[in-house]
Amino acid sequence: MPRALLGSAIAKRFLSRYWQKHPLFVPGALPGFRSILSWKDLMRLALRADVASRLVMREGRRWTLAHGPFRRRDFAALPSRNWTLLVQGVNLHVAEADALLRRFAFIPYARLDDLMVSYAAPGGSVGPHFDSYDVFLLQGDGRRRWRIGRQRDLELRRGLPLKILARFRPEAERVVDAGDMLYLPPDIAHEGVAIDTCSTYSIGFRAPTAQELATGFLDAMRDAVALEGRYRDPDLAPSREPARMGRELQAYAAKIASSLQWNERAIVRWLGAYLTEPKPAVAFAPPRVPLSLSTFALRAARNGLRLDSRTQLLYDAAHLFINGEVLRPPAQSRAMLRRLANARALGPQALSPETAGVAYRWYCNGFLHIR
C-alpha cells in the first residue's frame, strides 16, 4: 500500500471518494516492490493439502480448472503460455505476506479477508469476471494488462468451470508494472492478462451476505437452545379428517417459535465469534513443551509478544474475540490486549498478572508467540 495512503488524511479521502464507489489505479503504489514469493515458493505451497490452490488454463475459448493439492509433475508439463496458478490465504503461511496484508489496516480487520497470489505465464488469465467484494490488486514481478468496465449485464457463460462473463464490455485499460496497484469495488467487471510471466497480490475483503449472517446466527442459536416440554393432547377427540393438521398443534408450534428470543448482546457476541472463526484448513501449533507461567511472563517482558499470523483477534467495548472464542478481559488488561489486537504485537514490557494470565492461555493454544 502506498505510504501516503496510510496517512489518515489520504486514507480518509480514499474511503470517502472511492471505497465501494469507483475503481482507482495507483501507479507506483509501492515503489521498488518485488514479489514476496518465487515460483518455487508458490509451487511448494500448492503441493500442500492445507493450502487452497487452483490452476487455470485456456486454449482458445476452452477453459479448464484444477484444484490442489497438486503434484510436482502437474507443473512439469505446463505449456509456455496461457495458464495461471492461484494460491489462496498465503498470509496464513508466509510472514512477509501477512505483513503486506496488515499494511491495509486502514480498513478494519473485521473486513479484511486474505491475500491471494496468482502466478501467470504470458497470456495467463482467469477470464473477464466480477467479484462480490472489494479487492486491491498489487502487481509483483512482470506486467499485466487490466481491462475494467462498470456494466449491468453480469450474465455468465454457460458450461464453463469458471465464472466468466458472457458479454464483457471494457471501458478502460491499464498496463501495470511492479508496485502498481488497482482497487476495484464489488461487481466491477475486470479482466487481467499477463503480458510477461508475472505475479499479482490480491488483497480481498470479506462482506458476508444477509443470508449468511442470518443462517449463521440461527445455526449458533440451535446449539444454544434448550426448551423443555413436549406437545400433549389429552383431550383429543376422534378425527373425522385424519389428514387435516390440527389447529392445536399449529398453535403450539407457533408458541414455541415465538418464545425464542435474543437481544443485541447475544448477536454481538455471536458476530465476534463468527468473524474470528478460523478457516477450515487452519490449525494452530501449541508449544511442544510449554514454558511455565512465570517463565513466560519474564520472557514476554524481555522480548515482547506477537500474534500468530493465523490468529484473528477483534474486540468491542466489552469483549475480546479470538479465533472463534469470546471472553470478557479483566479491566486491568483491557488496554494492553487491545493494543495487541491493533498492532498484532507488543514490544518488551512488563505484563500485569491479569494480562499474563490471558496471554499465557493463548500461548499454550498456539495463538501467540514470544518474539
The pLDDT score that the predictor gives to residue 3 is 47
Burial of 150 (C-beta count, 10 Å sphere; 0-12/13-18/19+): middle
User: Is the bond preceding residue 330 a cis peptide, omega within 30 degrees?
Assistant: no
Q: What is the pLDDT along the chain (371 residues), one digit of tens a residue?
A: 444 444 566 888 899 999 999 999 999 888 889 899 999 999 999 999 999 999 999 998 899 999 999 999 999 989 999 999 999 999 999 999 999 999 999 999 999 999 999 999 999 999 999 999 999 999 999 999 999 999 999 999 999 999 999 999 999 999 999 999 999 999 999 999 999 999 999 999 999 999 999 999 999 988 888 888 999 999 898 988 999 998 999 999 999 988 888 889 999 999 999 999 999 889 999 999 999 999 999 999 999 999 999 999 999 999 999 999 999 999 999 999 999 999 999 999 999 999 999 999 999 999 999 99
Rounded distance, CA 84 to CA 315, Å?
Answer: 38
Q: Are 237 and 247 in contact (CB under 8 A)?
A: no
Instruction: Tell me which residue of 276, 279, 263, 255 sits closest to 321, measured CA to CA.
Output: 276
Rounded distance, CA 153 to CA 140, Å?
Answer: 31
Rounded distance, CA 169 to CA 77, Å?
Answer: 34
CATH numbers and ranges of domains, the chain: 3-205 (2.60.120.650), 208-222+260-371 (3.40.366.30)
The pLDDT score that the predictor gives to residue 9 is 60
The pLDDT score that the predictor gives to residue 6 is 46
The pLDDT score that the predictor gives to residue 1 is 43
The pLDDT score that the predictor gives to residue 7 is 52
pTM of the model: 0.90
Parallel, antiparallel or unpaired: strands 135-139 and 181-184: antiparallel
Q: What is the number of alpha carbons within 13 Å of residue 50 lying toward its C-beta?
A: 11
Rounded distance, CA 142 to CA 202, Å?
Answer: 15
Q: Which residue has the cell 496497484?
A: 181
